[in-house]
Amino acid sequence: MSQTSLQYRTFLFLMILVTVAFGWLLWPFFGAVFWGAILAIIFFPMQRWLLTVFRGRANLAALTTLLTCVLIVIIPVSLIAGAIIREAAGVYDQIRSGNIDFGLYFERIVAAMPETAQNLLARFGLVDISSFQTKLAEVATRGSQFFATQALSIGQNTFQFVISLGVMLYLLFFLLRDGSRLSGRIRQALPLAEEHKRHLFRKFIEVVRATVKGNIVVAITQGVLGGIIFSILGIHGALLWSVVMAFLSLLPAVGAGLIWGPVAIYFIVTGAVLQGIILTLYGILVIGLVDNVLRPILVGKDTRMPDYVVLISTLGGMALFGINGFVIGPLVAALFIAVWDLFSSIDGPPAPN
């Protein structure tokens, strides 16, 4: 082994070691760094436009973009999160006091079923109301413990949350201001052909913007529409169910139907046929069509992946990274497809000298 080769391998090992150590150092603030980078990508077109308006004053443009991001993203999300916590606490109190009795709902559904369906459920032991209520009591007990633990955790981690938010905003400012230079340095460091680097960077930015902008707008729209119909029909916890539908709307194919579907079935089998029909038609014709109308407009056909890939990658991402996974999962899947597309387009490895 030549001296030059040894030095190169030593330097490569040192570079990998330092990079891993730096990533480990940033890991406690992974969420802050991740969302700072995501928001920088989303709002960078605005930063570029403001840079022209302010005649090259990068600090002023970045500060204006940052304040805009705080006003239209961070403050509304904080207010909605507070409302959701209050709504969830109210629903839990109603369940504990008996105003919401899932055992009674289940009993009504079973009683409204045909005798054949009841016999089928009985064969699998699914009509034992007392056993069902016992299981619900166990779930309620675990739920109370969960809420107590989460409340304590939120109280203990308030300072950490504030620090993370401050880190994200601080990082976002510099990513907006210096984003072009940083992306240029990263592109320069990648040992790939220039056209391959352009393709991968373009795909990365397209998927990030499509996932965040398109999927979140679609999810919020479906959640709001679902909350409106739930409120009109007098369903308890309409705001909470609205948020749950918005969250599930991030999953293609199934989405918000996992919430309004069972409720519509409950209405129909318990005699509230009109409410069930209204909710079913509204869910199919209004909530369901939002995905088909808005998503192509906001995301675009070129950046869309097959629904099964989005579903699996989103579930896998959220299983590994929590709420951050709804962006990380599709992003990794899109880059996986892009890299293999590039690989298939390359004729072969370069010929040896």
Q: What percent of the chain has pLDDT over 90?
A: 3
Q: What percent of the chain has pLDDT over 70?
A: 70
Same domain, 219 and 334: yes
Locate all alpha helices (DSSP H) within the chain, ordered by sequence.
3-26, 30-53, 58-69, 75-97, 102-112, 115-123, 129-156, 158-189, 194-209, 216-232, 238-248, 257-269, 273-282, 288-298, 307-321, 325-345
Q: Which domain holds residue 219?
A: 190-345
- Among 90-104, 108-122, 192-206, name the most confident range: 192-206
Same domain, 159 and 235: no
Same domain, 141 and 197: no
Same domain, 154 and 51: yes
DSSP state of 324: G
Same domain, 177 and 219: no
**Is 12 among the domain residues?**
no
**Is 199 among the domain residues?**
yes
- Predicted confidence at residue 162, as pLDDT, reads 78
- Predicted confidence at residue 158, as pLDDT, reads 64
Does residue 255 carry a pLDDT above 70? yes
**Is 17 among the domain residues?**
no
Question: What is the total count of domains within the chain?
Answer: 2
Write out the two tokens for 37.
């980078």
* Mean pLDDT on 307-321: 80
User: Across all residues in the chain, what is the average pLDDT?
Assistant: 75
Same domain, 178 and 64: yes
Position 146 confidence tier, pLDDT thresholds 50, 70, 90: low
* Mean pLDDT on 249-273: 78
Same domain, 109 and 231: no
Matching residue, tokens 């040894």:
6
Give the type of residue at 265: I
Same domain, 160 and 199: no
Residue with more model confidence, 106 or 267: 267
Does residue 333 carry a pLDDT above 90? no
Does residue 140 carry a pLDDT above 90? no
| 30, 112, 217 from 164: Cα distances, Å | 9, 52, 25
Q: Among candidates 314, 313, 335, which has minimal Cα distance to 323?
A: 314
- Predicted confidence at residue 67, as pLDDT, reads 92
Last residue of a domain, one of 186, 216, 244: 186
Q: Give the long-range contacts of residues 162-169, CB within 8 A, separation 24 or more.
A: 164/29, 164/31, 164/32, 165/32, 165/74, 167/29, 167/32, 167/33, 167/36, 168/31, 168/32, 168/33, 168/35, 168/36, 168/39, 169/36, 169/66, 169/70, 169/74
Q: What is the pLDDT of residues 165-198, one digit of tens each?
A: 888 899 999 998 888 888 778 777 777 777 777 8
* Mean pLDDT on 11-34: 86
Q: pTM of the full predicted structure?
A: 0.67
Same domain, 221 and 336: yes
